[in-house]
Structure 1
Amino acid sequence: MKTNKRLFLLLLSLVVSVSALYAQSKKEKKEEKEKAVKEVIESGNFKIDVSRAYPQGGRSLQLSPSYSLELRNDSVFSNLPYYGRAYSIPYGGGDGLRFNAPLETYKMETKKNKAIKITFITRSKEDRFDFFIQIFPNGTAAIDVSMQQRQSISFSGELILPL
């Protein structure tokens, strides 16, 4: 009887210690990812792979993995699809949200929930674009784009972290 009780206490302490180690390593991984996300954003060079589009007045659309938004130094490289109403566009449809252009303004701030909010304005030969990006500590991102010649559109995706 005494042996069973000792064995039970030994197993119980083993289970508690293993679960504590697992929880600690999970928390460490989360903190490590948060730190990596913050470092990549603060470097000013990052890429967001976009996986979903949310046009105004329509259903969300799952996108192929080839769409992205990239910021490098003082330029934006936008390879995003556009779904929605255009008010005035060039003959043939124009380029929409597929352009490379310098940033006119750039502002970054960290919110209370550790999310990073980035806003910037840029222009292509077709339109002016106001980007509002929110990047969360786990690396997910939400992008809202307002334009003068088209309806606004939103996207969601994932920040690409270096290996």
Structure 2
Amino acid sequence: MKKLLLATFTAFIIVSCSSVKNAADKVGQQAKLARLVQSQNFIFNARYVIPQRMNILNIIPNNVGQLQNLSPGYYLSVSPDSVKAYLPYFGRAYSAPYSTTDNGININTKDFKYSYKANRKGMYTISIDIHNDKYTQSFTLNVGSSNYASLQVQSINRDAISFYGSVEQKEDNIQ
């Protein structure tokens, strides 16, 4: 009986120690995310896309439902002085672009408004508004403590589109 009691007590101590370690890791991840958001120096790497109009996905081959996998290389890059985006677009455009190279979401601007707020669960909602003579777009990025993020892009001239991916610290050599 004493051996059983000792084994139970030992198991309880081990489980308690591992939960303390997990809580400490979670606090560390939240602090790292807070620094990342406040520094305005990160990159969102898009992995999946969901257009607002689902019938557009009927023309995409090998499609499973509404979620479309993306090849690597699509991103939203945020710096304190600039925002750059290279994202695909599927959906309805209400006005035609001026050139054939303006089909996706291609942005490189220094004129933007950046704001963020944290909720009680440690998630951040980041808003980036871009207004210039060429386009008006709003980016809303929701980031969790595991750095998994969702990005909604709204434009005056196009239907909304959503992306899912991850947020990472931006390296110096990234665009």
TM-score band w.r.t. shorter chain? 0.7 to 0.9
Instruction: Show the counterpart of 1:25.
Output: 21
Instruction: Show the counterpart of 1:44.
Output: 40
1:18: how far off? 0.9
- Check whether the contact 1:99–1:124 (CA below 8 A) recurs between aligned residues: no
Task: Give % identity.
Answer: 23
1:83 is matched by which residue type in structure 2? F
1:131: how far off? 1.1
Please, what TM-score do these two structures have when normalized by structure 1?
A: 0.87
1:125: how far off? 6.6
CA distance, structure 2, for counterparts of residue 66 and residue 91 of structure 1:
22
2:151 is matched by which residue type in structure 1? I
In the TM superposition, what whole-angstrom CA distance separates every residue of 1:92-145 from its partner, at most 9, and x where no partner exists?
252431221124322211223322111121147742211111112221111111
Alignment of 1:74-113 (within 5 A): 74-88=81-95, 89-92=97-100, 94-113=102-121
3-state secondary structure, aligned to 2:112: strand
In the TM superposition, what whole-angstrom CA distance separates every residue of 1:10-50 from its partner, at most 9, and x where no partner exists?
21111111111111111111111111111111111111111
The runs of at least 4 consecutive aligned structure 1 residues that moved more than 3 Å come to: 123-126
Please, what TM-score do these two structures have when normalized by structure 2?
A: 0.82
1:31 is matched by which residue type in structure 2? V
3-state secondary structure, aligned to 2:110: strand
Instruction: Show the counterpart of 1:152.
Output: 160
